[in-house]
Amino acid sequence: MTSKIDSIIEDFELLDNWDDRYRYLIELGRALPPFPEEQRSDRFKVQGCASQVWLVSEPAGGADDLRLAFHGDSDAHIVRGLVAILLAFYSDRTARDILAADPGAVFARIGLKDHLTPQRSNGLRSMVERIRADARAALEGAAA
């Protein structure tokens, strides 16, 4: 069975030019489920992003199989697409897998690593760190 992130990678590889890839990235962002207005707060806002980005993690399971589901949004189209890719990569994985995973390899494979502005790259790093911080906090909470 192909995972959501594998499907996204395959779709990117089918697109020959960057105009099409950016359009696809925007489509991925538009396909995100609606984000609840009450979660557009400082509590869920990702610090270090030039655009506004909100990420919410929802842990489930016990200490041995603690999984996190994520949902998020951004006020910028391309960044919202980056959020969609990160959610496809990280959601429903164990907290330990999240901490061990390397999203940089995915972004390099689809070529985004070389086609993001420094500002978007910094924001992407901030989003990844936030997801990892949520995974660490969930693990600490499960161990307590």
49 noted as active-site residue: yes
Catalytic residue among 25, 49, 88, 138: 49
pTM above 0.85, yes or no: yes
Tens of pLDDT along the chain (144 residues) come to 458 999 999 999 999 899 999 999 999 999 999 999 999 999 999 999 889 999 999 998 876 788 999 999 999 999 999 999 999 999 999 999 999 998 988 888 888 878 888 899 999 999 999 999 999 999 888 766
- Nearest partner of 87 among 4, 15, 12, judged by Cα: 4
From CA 34, how far away is CA 114, in angstroms rounded?
Answer: 30
Task: Write out the two tokens for 104.
Answer: 């940089």
From CA 13, how far away is CA 109, in angstroms rounded?
Answer: 9
From CA 134, how far away is CA 118, in angstroms rounded?
Answer: 24
CA 138 vs CA 50, 51, 89, 95: distances in Å: 27, 26, 18, 7
Residue 29, pLDDT score: 97
The pairing of strands 53-60 and 93-94 is unpaired
β partners of residue 53? 74
